[in-house]
């Protein structure tokens, strides 16, 4: 099937009833800087210009898509609040059907494990995996360039997931992706069960007009060499202070881990934190957090 994301693929002769099951992984931002905003004359007006180093991790949603005779896209999920037209699986399948003039519809079943509003990229990943799954299932043979064009219409992180890379440096709104190879990492993800408004976090952030490309290059070097000490010294998220000031629960979690000497950073616009660890273990966190928090061990995927 050609991809570590693909779980199963079953094609029917006329496509109706054909089915694909695909993983939809989360991500963490090892470096995240906001370098400005697009001018009002730009087609991206209102968006921020960012640069980031992103890692794909082993926490995954699962998506199953079935081809139907009925037009349109039906979404079924274990999270009922996601069963609507704004779901990025629906938007991705609808966009592809429109662009390629596909003569059938789809039933998309989304099993959600990545917490929403956590900065772990679940929605963007869902959109990307939907496109990848349909491309394989329908034999569309869309090139990566064609997939990127669709992804740019759907969300800032979609193209990273479409690249199917473990690590990448991204720019622009996040749609410009440069994959690179590096040694795998282990993390513990800690999500204090609170959602943050991305818009509010950005509005509360002081935009840095100076690029920190040297920092990004040091992080890439540390990743390639497996130098955890150097990596920890240079991990950076320009949105972290803003998010901590807006969310008492997140600040409480960060302070708790800092006091215990556990290194952690926030991913994306929050509200999940991640550690850098050589071992996959959550036992150390057992007595440090309320039971409703998500604490999960993951690795580079």
- Other C-beta atoms lying within 10 Å of the C-beta of residue 228: 17
Cα torsion angle, 270, 32, 176, 62, sign = negative
Give domain status of residue 213, yes or no.
no
Give domain status of residue 207, yes or no.
no
So what's the pLDDT on residue 196? 85
So what's the pLDDT on residue 208? 59
pLDDT tens digits, residue range 45-90? 677 889 999 999 999 999 999 999 999 999 999 999 999 999 999 9
Give domain status of residue 114, yes or no.
yes
So what's the pLDDT on residue 281? 54
In 58-143, where does DSSP find H-type helix? Answer: 88-100, 122-137
- Specify whether the CB–CB gap between 255 and 249 falls below 8 A: no
Give domain status of residue 224, yes or no.
no
So what's the pLDDT on residue 284? 63
So what's the pLDDT on residue 39? 77
- Specify whether the CB–CB gap between 92 and 155 falls below 8 A: no
Characterize 22-44 residue by residue with b for buried, 16 or more Cβ atoms within 10 angstroms of its Cβ, and e for exposed: bbbbbbbbbbbbbbeeeeeeeee
Give domain status of residue 199, yes or no.
no
Using the 8-state DSSP alphabet, how is residue 300 labeled? B
Tokens of 87: 């779901």
So what's the pLDDT on residue 207? 64
Domain housing 137:
6-179
Domains in the chain: how many in total?
A: 1
So what's the pLDDT on residue 182? 97
Q: Are strands 186-191 and 273-275 parallel, antiparallel or unpaired?
A: antiparallel
Using the 8-state DSSP alphabet, how is residue 47 labeled? P
Give domain status of residue 275, yes or no.
no
Give domain status of residue 212, yes or no.
no
pTM of the model: 0.94
Q: What are the catalytic residues?
A: 27, 157
DSSP string, 252-266: HHHHHHHHTT--EEE
Give domain status of residue 192, yes or no.
no
The per-residue pLDDT string of the chain (301 residues; one tens digit each, 9 = 90 and over) reads 579 999 999 999 999 999 999 999 999 999 999 887 887 787 776 778 899 999 999 999 999 999 999 999 999 999 999 999 999 999 999 999 999 999 999 999 999 999 998 999 999 999 999 999 999 999 999 999 999 999 999 998 999 999 999 999 999 989 999 999 999 999 999 999 988 888 889 888 876 555 556 789 999 999 999 999 999 999 999 999 999 999 988 998 888 888 878 889 999 998 999 999 765 455 566 566 677 888 899 999 9
Cα–Cα distance for residue pair 151/221, rounded to 1 Å = 28
Q: Are strands 6-10 and 19-37 parallel, antiparallel or unpaired?
A: antiparallel
CATH for 51: 3.30.230.10
């Amino acid at each position: 099937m050609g991809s570590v994301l693909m779980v199963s693929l079953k094609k029917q002769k006329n496509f109706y009833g054909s089915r694909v099951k695909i993983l939809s992984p989360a991500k963490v931002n090892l470096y995240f800087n906001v370098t400005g905003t697009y001018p009002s004359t730009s087609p991206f007006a209102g968006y921020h210009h960012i640069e980031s180093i992103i890692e794909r991790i082993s926490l995954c949603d699962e998506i199953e898509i079935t081809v139907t005779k009925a037009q349109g896209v039906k979404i079924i999920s274990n999270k009922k609040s996601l069963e609507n037209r704004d779901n990025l699986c629906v938007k991705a399948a609808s966009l592809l059907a429109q662009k390629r003039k596909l003569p059938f519809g789809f039933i998309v079943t989304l099993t959600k494990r990545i917490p929403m509003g956590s900065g772990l990229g679940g929605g963007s990943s869902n959109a990307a995996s939907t496109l990848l799954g349909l491309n394989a299932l329908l034999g569309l043979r869309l090139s990566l360039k064609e997939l990127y064009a669709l992804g740019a219409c759907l969300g800032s992180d979609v193209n990273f997931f479409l690249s199917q890379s473990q690590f990448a440096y991204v720019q622009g709104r996040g749609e410009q992706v440069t994959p690179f190879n590096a040694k795998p990492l282990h993390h513990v993800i800690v999500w204090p069960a609170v959602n943050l408004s991305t818009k509010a976090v950005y509005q509360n952030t002081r935009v840095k007009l100076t690029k920190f490309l040297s920092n990004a290059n040091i992080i890439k070097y540390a990743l390639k060499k497996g130098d955890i000490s150097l990596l920890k010294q240079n991990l950076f998220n320009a949105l972290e202070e803003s998010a901590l000031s807006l969310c008492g629960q997140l600040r409480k979690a960060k302070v708790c881990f800092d006091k215990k000497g556990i290194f952690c950073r926030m991913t994306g616009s929050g509200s999940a934190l991640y550690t850098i660890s050589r071992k996959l273990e959550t036992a150390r966190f057992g007595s440090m957090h309320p039971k409703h928090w998500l604490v999960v061990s993951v690795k580079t995927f």
